[in-house]
Structure formats: structure tokens, C-alpha cells
Amino acid sequence: MYTSEKSQSIFQAGKTTTQEALQLYDSLEPVNCDFMWGRWRGAGLDTDHPMDGLLELSNWYGKEFVDPETVHPLLFSDGRGELFKVAPHPTLMNWVLKLSIPRNTAFKPWLMFANSLLKTDKSQARLRMMEYRGVVTATMIYDYLPINDSFKKVDDHTVFGIMDFKNSPQPFFFILKRELTEKIQK
């Protein structure tokens, strides 16, 4: 069983093994959909996954949950403090997993440009209660990708997420911290 001190040390380090991340995820309590409403700031947890560091390199901000049918899974910063929503692209997602993209800041302008081409105002996911690893918890279902993100509660303003992508045998882990603002309106 993971203590809150052990959990916090993993989150502060920002790195662990896949096995430890799974054990930590399994030790946390599930959340319901109501818990997820609002905007969340995200950060990856490095487990030697092909996506480790790429979201941060491309100015990923986090996720926004408005209602069960309106979810914005990819919020990015334009570098000037403005946020924009991105429509995930299946081909790009598969490239990320197949190609070894260096985690080099020289690629940051290219990644930010690619994201700017995928801007959208339309919802790209839904939120449902689903079973994952034997427990029913709030789960974000992408509209156009075979991906589900399941969430577990770390504290009243933090969740630990796990991305289950059909095309990847290894899950991707991330932390979301709730923005402490009024409920997001549609």
C-alpha cells in the first residue's frame, strides 16, 4: 500500500517505473464524473514511455471537463499565456509511438506549429464511469482515438491519470491538478 508520503515523493520526482506507477494507481480511490468538472493543469510522469516529455515540450497545459459530452482532452499554451484546444490526430499519435522523437527543445517550435494546425473549439472526448484494472472510475473516452484516460484521486484537487491506448502495450501516466476557479461554463 502506498502512503501519501510515498505517493508525493513519486509525483515530486516526476519519474518512476511502469510497475510502481501501476501499483500507485491501484492504491488510490476512484473518482466520479462530478469530481472531474473544471479545468486541470497536467504533467506527465516519466516511466520510459515513448510519450514521456513530449506533451510538456509542446506546451501542453492540461484538460477541461465541461459536462459528460463536452471534454477537451488537449489544452495547450501558445507561449503568451493564452490557451487553445487541439483535436488529437490518429496518424500523429501513431508516429509518436513509432518514431524516437528526441526530447530536445530544438523541436519545440515544430511541435507548437503542428498543434496550432490542429486547433478546434469542438469537444474531442466524453466522460463516463468505466471499469479499468478492476475498479469503476471516471474515464475520458477520446472521440477519434482508441484511447481511454482513467482517473484516481490523489487529494481533493489532484488526480492520477493513466492513458490506455490500444496501439501501445505500455500505459502513459500523468498528474492533473485542478484549477481553483469557478466551474467552467459551456
Residue 120's contacts (CB-CB under 8 Å, 6 or more residues apart) are 85, 86, 87
Q: Write down the pTM of the prediction.
A: 0.86
| Radius of gyration from C-alpha coordinates of the chain | 16
Residue-level pLDDT at 104: 59
Q: Which three cell numbers stand for residue 104?
A: 530536445
Residue-level pLDDT at 109: 61
Helix, strand, coil percentages in the chain from 3-state DSSP, rounded to 5: 25, 40, 35
Q: Which residues in the chain show pLDDT less than 50?
A: 183-186
Q: How far apart are CA 124 and CA 145, in angstroms?
A: 10
Residue-level pLDDT at 89: 76
